[in-house]
Amino acid sequence: MASKLMVVIPCYNEEEVLPETSKRLVKKMADLEKKGLITPDSRVLLVNDGSRDRTWEMICELHKENPLFEGVKLSRNRGHQNALLAGLMTAKGRCDVSISMDADLQDDMDAMDRFLEKYEEGCDIVYGVRNKRDTDTFFKRETALMFYRLMKALGVDITFNHADYRLMSNRALEALSQIEEVNLFLRGLAPLVGFQSDVVYYDRSERFAGESKYPFKKMLAFAIDGITSFSVKPLRLITTVGLVIFVVSLLMLLYALISWITGNAVLGWTSTLASIWMIGGIQLLCMGVIGEYIGKIYNETKRRPRFIIERYLNDRGDDPVVDKR
């Protein structure tokens, strides 16, 4: 049975890729409709994340030319995860099923057929997983792998090599909307939603044009966010380190006392200096980790909206008010 699909695409300064992306989407959506997987009133929702180039103007033009395209304009740049959530929350209640993907054509559109087939088989969430990462640089590939391993070691339920190319049913979107955290890491939240899920493998290609909006600094911040939003193990690690150091300090005390008794006390300037620096460093590091979590609590308690929608372009005259939290 055909279902109403909404493809959600966050766009930040994507004027170089949008013409090609939209062209391919028109074709893809027509194909899917012909195959009987989606209904004719399915839509592509382009979320403009406060772009500084002509992205929003282009979205307006696309919408005017073809009602297939809808546009959401955020009031400012809020980052990939918030923009994606804004799109998904707009899609919630307006479709049977949503698929999120990037604007840059890195996610193979032909995987959408398989996503939808899995949905028909009863899955509420389908994760797109990259087959291989040979289009990424060596550095990005290795750091990403390290990140996934670390997440697993910290006990976080995360799908290896899954970015945000994902199918979510309306039911899963409803459940997602009930998770109210401000520190967003959507690929970790989807497994929390639960329901029947599956993975679809696809080849990730290179960015069609333009450059990555994820420089190393943002990637690192994203990784730290991911870890501290889903695991308190680093805090426990600090306790363990503290415990070990305490035991070592007891031994040191014993050693110092024995040295004093046997009369060799003045020596040992090097070891004193070294231990002061070591302990100081470890303490600062631990305080930093604790600070990360306190910062998270601080942000969550403010309960600020995760995104603000300025406009919602659609052919039904829906107003832009959607679930913000």
Element (H, E) at 40: none
Give the Cα separation of 171 and 186 in Å (integer).
16
110/121 with CB nearer Mg ion: 110
Would you give the binding string for ligand UDP spanning residues 92-121, x where CB under 6 A is met?
----------xxx-x---------------
146/257 with CB nearer ligand UDP: 146
Please say whether the beta carbons of 26 and 68 come within 8 A: yes
Map the footprint of Mg ion across residues 74-103, applying CB under 5 A. 102
- Site membership for ligand UDP, residue 11 (CB under 6 A): yes
Quote the least distance from Cβ 250 to ligand UDP, whole Å. Answer: 48
Dihedral angle computed from the Cα positions of residues 216, 222, 224 and 227, in that order, rounded to the nearest 10 degrees: -140
- Site membership for ligand UDP, residue 323 (CB under 6 A): no
Contacting residue, 14, 49, 70, 104, with Mg ion by CB under 5 A: 104
Quote the least distance from Cβ 210 to Mg ion, whole Å. Answer: 9
Give the Cα separation of 82 and 74 in Å (integer).
10
Would you give the binding string for ligand UDP spanning residues 67-86, x where CB under 6 A is met?
----------x-xx--x---
Q: Which does 39 bind (CB under 5 to 8 A by kind): Mg ion, ligand UDP, none?
A: none
> DSSP string spanning 273-304?
HHHHHHHHHHHHHHHHHHHHHHHHHHHHHHT-
- Site membership for ligand UDP, residue 12 (CB under 6 A): yes
Please say whether the beta carbons of 185 and 225 come within 8 A: yes
Q: Which residues of 159-189 are buried (b: 16+ CB within 10 A; e: fewer)?
A: bebbbbbbbbbbebbebbbeeeebbbbbbbb
Would you give the binding string for ligand UDP spanning residues 38-67, x where CB under 6 A is met?
-----------x------------------
